[in-house]
């Protein structure tokens, strides 16, 4: 049984993940530790957790949050219309149209299903897709039956960009202020508490503390795995972007005439 806590870089956690860690820490302390021994420390942790949660609740009230979600859904709608139009017409009887539909289909395929990505990744993929589609020109897009939807997607992307800019400005003002401050305070408080428990282990032995340490280590191990997963996803996205820029996928050729 471990007599020390698993190392976890709390600065790599989101404020929400840190709040969850603190809630579980307090829950575990009440169950496994002598509350009388740690009463002042636990009271301080509770106060810091409440301050952090209050800051997070306030941060969620960003006036642009709803507008951003609506703008993102509007982009999804336009992207889906282009995708479904090309997919359903890939065997169009007009061979000239079929060729241009296949060209648009191929570009959409290369940029993947944007609806499954978060806001930032979605914006980047749609922006790159639109540049490729607009390079085809209005005449070819008209033949592909998607010119108006491509124009609509461009307008919706620009609208999203304006909303996102306003959202980030408001969020940044708050995040760099109170939330960031409360998060740093919480990180310090948790680290200090864990070191005090480890000091008690040295003085009293591990028996009174091993259940609490094992309980918390399960959460720390999970968060460490989440940190590694985020790092891997970030690296994969960077590699994917690089590959998209350097390699051209085999274009989809129109099916033969029946």
3-state helix, strand, coil in the chain (%, to 5): 80, 0, 20
pLDDT of residue 1: 47
pLDDT of residue 167: 79
pLDDT of residue 208: 93
* Nearest partner of 138 among 168, 170, 110, 100, judged by Cα: 100
Cα end-to-end span (Å), the chain: 71
Q: Supply angle C-alpha 229, 231, 235, rounded to 5.
A: 115
Parse the chain into domains and list their residue ranges.
Answer: 10-61+175-245, 67-167
Query: What distance in Å separates the CA atoms of residue 222 and residue 3, rounded to the nearest whole number?
Result: 19
Query: What distance in Å separates the CA atoms of residue 165 and residue 68, rounded to the nearest whole number?
Result: 10
Cα–chain-centroid distance for residue 103? Answer: 31
pLDDT tens digits for 144-195?
999 999 999 999 999 999 998 887 777 666 655 788 899 999 999 999 999 9
Query: What distance in Å separates the CA atoms of residue 164 and residue 123, rounded to the nearest whole number?
Result: 10
pTM above 0.85, yes or no: no
Q: Which two tokens stand for residue 124?
A: 């980047």
């Amino acid at each position: 049984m471990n007599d020390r806590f698993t190392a976890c870089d709390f600065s790599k956690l989101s404020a929400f993940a840190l709040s969850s860690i603190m809630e579980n820490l307090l829950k575990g302390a009440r169950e496994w530790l002598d509350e009388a021994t740690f009463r002042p420390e636990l009271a301080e942790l509770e106060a810091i957790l409440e301050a952090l949660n209050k800051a997070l609740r306030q941060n969620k009230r960003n006036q642009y949050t709803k507008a951003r979600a609506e703008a993102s859904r509007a982009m999804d709608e336009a992207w889906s219309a282009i995708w479904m139009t090309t997919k359903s017409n890939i065997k169009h009887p007009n061979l000239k149209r079929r060729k241009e539909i296949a060209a648009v289909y191929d570009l959409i395929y290369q940029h993947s299903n944007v609806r499954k990505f978060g806001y930032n990744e979605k914006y980047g993929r749609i922006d790159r897709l639109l540049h490729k589609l607009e390079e085809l020109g209005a005449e070819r897009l008209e033949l592909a039956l998607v010119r108006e939807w491509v124009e609509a997607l461009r307008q919706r992307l620009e609208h999203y960009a304006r909303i996102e800019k306003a959202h980030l400005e408001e969020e940044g003002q708050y995040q760099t202020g109170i939330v960031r401050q409360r998060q740093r305070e919480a990180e310090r408080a948790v680290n200090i508490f864990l070191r005090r428990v480890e000091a008690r282990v040295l003085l009293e032995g591990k028996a009174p503390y091993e259940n609490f340490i094992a309980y918390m280590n399960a959460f720390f191990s999970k968060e460490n795995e989440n940190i590694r997963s985020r790092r891997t996803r970030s690296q994969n996205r960077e590699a994917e972007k690089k590959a998209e820029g350097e390699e051209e996928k085999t274009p989809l050729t129109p099916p033969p005439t029946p």
